[in-house]
Chains A and B, each alone.
Chain A
Amino acid sequence: MSINRNSVDSLRLLATCIPAVITFVIVFAVPMVLIFKLGVSTEDGAFSLQNFFAIAGDEYYQEIFARTFKLAALVTIVAVAIGIFEGYYLNGLFGRMRMLVLMAILGPLFVSVVVRTLGWQIILGNNGPISQFLQMIGLAKGPADLLFGELAIFIGLLHMVLPYMILNIWTALMSYDDKTEKAARSLGAGSGTVFFKIVLPQIMPGVLSGALTVFALSMSAFATPALLGGRTTKVVATAVYDEFLSTFNWNLGASIAIILLALNIFTAFFLNKWVERKFKGVFA
């Protein structure tokens, strides 16, 4: 071991990273710097924070940010609930059955999100099965159109993020020790107590990492809201797209993107802190 620690070896190890680091400096760091510069300047290139004030004071953008945040939070909460249930269920399956369920959960991840969203467009559209069912049982008079709105975006996003959530929780459950659960049961704890006092704290790291992934994905989702939100129900990512490719106000678009990035980082940070405080000891 001590031979490996000399400086010649360190240099050799460092050298193997050079191609990746150089590529990333040129094609990742430089573009990120460019977009930050674009966000904090006026159209003629002078430094200015006017875009941020313009966004903060504009009701149109306030609504878009509020909607995006609300949808992402809702999707995360529902995904956590479903993820815990399904992760637990999957953990109790074995052999062929487990593989089949795993394929159904992971399958959507192999297909482009555009394809999945097209599926929801058909299902929620006015010729779709839900609309026909509602008409059949008499709940809707004409074709029921559930498309183009927050509900449609919510459903699409939930579908997009669910596999990640289930997988994170399932991974946490695989290293879960059921001896404490058995001990609690033998001491007379009910199912509810066992779940909230024993199971949940132990799988909390998985829930947290899943929630962070899912929240970040929902906050910045583009294709799903673009296809299911219609022309009026905008979210942050579609607003950025509009600024860049329709109205060509790149400075404003970059400012919106910077706010999105900052929001994501702050939420991740605070969610982390909150869960760590609440479930002290699990993260040791």
Chain B
Amino acid sequence: MSRFIQNVIHLIIMVFLVAPLIVVVMVSFTPTSYLEIPLNDFSTRWYSSLIANSEFMGAMRNSAIYAAISSLLSVMIAVPAAIAIARQRFPGSVAIRSFLLSPMMVPAVVLGIAFLKYLSTVGLSSTMFGLVLCHCVVITPYVLRLTMAAVGGINRNAELAATSLGASGFTVFRKVTLPLVLPGVISGAVIAFVTSFDEVTVTVFVASPGTMTIPVKLLNHINETTDPLAASASAVLIFLAVAVMLVVEKYFGLQNVFSGKVK
């Protein structure tokens, strides 16, 4: 293949990847009341109606809150486990590792109905607590995997040196181990937050009008009507995603953050 043809194919792939996002942003500035790319007239009327729409704004706020709580919860339970598992083998460590990673192997739609059945059985349906717990299960494998990768890269001599100089086990953990795994934990938390914030397939089964999240709200809205309100709400999500991505790239490097997400 000549270099020219390769460049052309590459360009086509790039356009394919970003086209839907760019189109959504363009449509969000339409002055008309249907999903159409504005050619000579631009308007922010759909952003005004987005701000005035309490359902959309409420769903965005909910999504942010649920994502924050569930990723915090997930970090709290996954990080200690990840450090122990990645450190060394102990009886049951392999089984625990597979068990904690297994939600990744289950199709999201299966998780969704399992959570729906479970929450209605234990009387937690339509509650924020139930929804956050479900999200926590979905995102914990990501935190676990990225933290384990970070622990695997630690030089143990630093810890041994601290111990030999008389530091207690907890001090070693706080002053040596934690700072070394922190980048892994933070990228895990970022991925967890983004995954929870964007999650739709599980959430569509467990969200209720009182606990609506923005992806589910969007899905329902698009299924019912085709006004550009969906486009302006989507565009806001795209702007937020770009902001998160730039911050991640600046402080951690994009490829590092996602190295645990693939595979």
Question: In chain A, what residue has the closest Cβ to B92?
Answer: A14
User: What residue of chain A has the Cβ atom nearest to residue B231's Cβ?
Assistant: A118
Contact between B80 and A122, CB atoms less than 8 A apart: no
30 contacts between A and B (CB under 8 A): A13-B84, A13-B88, A20-B81, A20-B100, A20-B140, A23-B140, A31-B118, A34-B114, A35-B117, A102-B255, A103-B249, A107-B21, A107-B241, A108-B17, A108-B18, A109-B261, A112-B237, A114-B222, A115-B234, A117-B20, A119-B19, A119-B24, A122-B37, A129-B23, A129-B37, A163-B17, A221-B201, A223-B215, A227-B222, A240-B109
Contact B76 A19 (CB under 8 A): yes
Q: Which residues of A contact B96 (CB under 8 A)?
A: 17, 20-21
Is B259 positioned at the interface, with any CB of A under 8 Å from its CB?
A: yes
- A27→B107 contact, CB < 8 A: no
Residue in B16, B84, B134, B223 whose beta carbon sits within 8 Å of that of A14 in the complex:
B84
Structural contact, A104 and B14, CB atoms closer than 8 A: yes
Per the bound structure, the CA–CA distance linking A114 and B235 in Å amounts to 12
Contact between A171 and B262, CB atoms less than 8 A apart: yes
- A244 to chain B: closest residue by CB: B113
0/1 per residue, B85-118, Cβ < 8 Å to A? Answer: 1011011110010011011011111111111111
A110 contacts across to B, CB distance below 8 A: 194, 198, 241-242, 244-245
**Is B107 a contact of A216 with CB atoms below 8 Å?**
yes
Instruction: Beyond the given A13-B88, A17-B96, A113-B215, please list 8 additional residue pairs across the A-B interface where CB-CB is below 8 A.
Output: A14-B93, A34-B121, A35-B117, A89-B10, A110-B194, A114-B219, A226-B219, A240-B109
A42 is an interface residue with CB less than 8 A from chain B: no
Q: Which residues of A contact B35 (CB under 8 A)?
A: 121-122, 125, 127
Q: What's the minimum C-beta distance from A56 to chain B, rounded to whole angstroms?
A: 19
Q: List residues 56-115 of chain A with CB under 8 A from any CB of chain B.
A: 82, 85-86, 89, 99, 101-115
Which residues of chain B have C-beta atoms less than 8 A from A23's C-beta? 77, 133, 136-137, 140
Asked if A260 contacts B241 (CB within 8 A), the reply is no
Inter-chain CA distance A240–B117, complex, in Å, is: 13
Contact B107 A118, beta carbon cutoff 8 Å: no
B109 touches A164 (CB 8 A): no
* A 2-18 to B, binary, CB cutoff 8 A, 1 in contact else 0: 00110001100110110
Count residues of A near B (Cβ-Cβ below 8 Å). 87
Q: How many Å from the CB of A170 to the closest CB on chain B?
A: 8
- Whether the Cβ atoms of B90 and A13 lie closer than 8 Å is yes
Closest beta carbon of chain B to A81's beta carbon, Å: 11
Given the known inter-chain contacts A110-B194, A118-B230, please indicate yes or no for A38 contacting B117, CB distance below 8 A: yes
**Chain A residues with Cβ under 8 A from B103's Cβ?**
28
> Which chain B residues lie closer than 8 Å to A109 at the CB level?
258, 261
Q: Are B222 and A28 in contact (CB under 8 A)?
A: no
Contact residues of B with A, CB < 8 Å? 1, 6, 9-10, 13-14, 16-24, 27, 34-37, 76-78, 80-81, 83-85, 87-88, 90-93, 96, 99-100, 102-103, 105-118, 121, 133-134, 136-137, 140, 144, 194, 197-201, 204-205, 214-215, 218-219, 222-223, 230-231, 234, 237-238, 241-242, 244-245, 249, 254-255, 258-259, 261-263
The reply to whether B133 and A112 contact each other, CB–CB distance below 8 Å, is: no
Q: CA of A159 to CA of B222 in the docked complex: distance in angstroms? A: 19
Query: Which single member of A5, A112, A163, A237 contacts B109 (CB below 8 Å)?
Result: A237
Which A residues touch B87, using CB under 8 A? 13
Closest B residue to A191 using CB positions: B1
Q: Do A253 and B113 have beta carbons less than 8 Å apart?
A: yes
Closest CB-CB distance, A210 to chain B, in whole Å?
7
Contact B21 A116 (CB under 8 A): yes
The interface residues of chain A lying within 8 Å CB-to-CB of B238 are 111, 115
Task: Assess whether B20 is in contact with A123, with CB atoms less than 8 Å apart.
Answer: yes
Of B34, B198, B231, the residue contacting A112 (CB under 8 A) is B198
> A272 in the interface, Cβ–Cβ < 8 Å?
no
Question: Shortest distance in angstroms between A64's beta carbon and chain B's nearest beta carbon?
Answer: 13
In Å, the complex CA distance between A258 and B110 comes to 8
Given A23-B77, A216-B107, A237-B109, is A116 in contact with B100 using a C-beta cutoff of 8 Å? no
Cβ of A257 and Cβ of B17 under 8 Å apart? no
Shortest beta-carbon distance, B100 to chain A, in Å?
6
A114 close to B106 (CB less than 8 A):
no
Residues of A within 8 Å of B37, CB to CB, are 122, 129
Q: Are A14 and B90 in contact (CB under 8 A)?
A: yes
Among B9, B17, B245, B261, contact of A85 (Cβ-Cβ < 8 Å): B9
The answer to whether the Cβ of A51 comes within 8 Å of any Cβ in the partner chain is no
A112 and B215 contact, CB distance less than 8 A: yes
Inter-chain contact A171/B259, CB cutoff 8 Å: yes
Interface contact B109-A241, CB-CB below 8 Å: yes
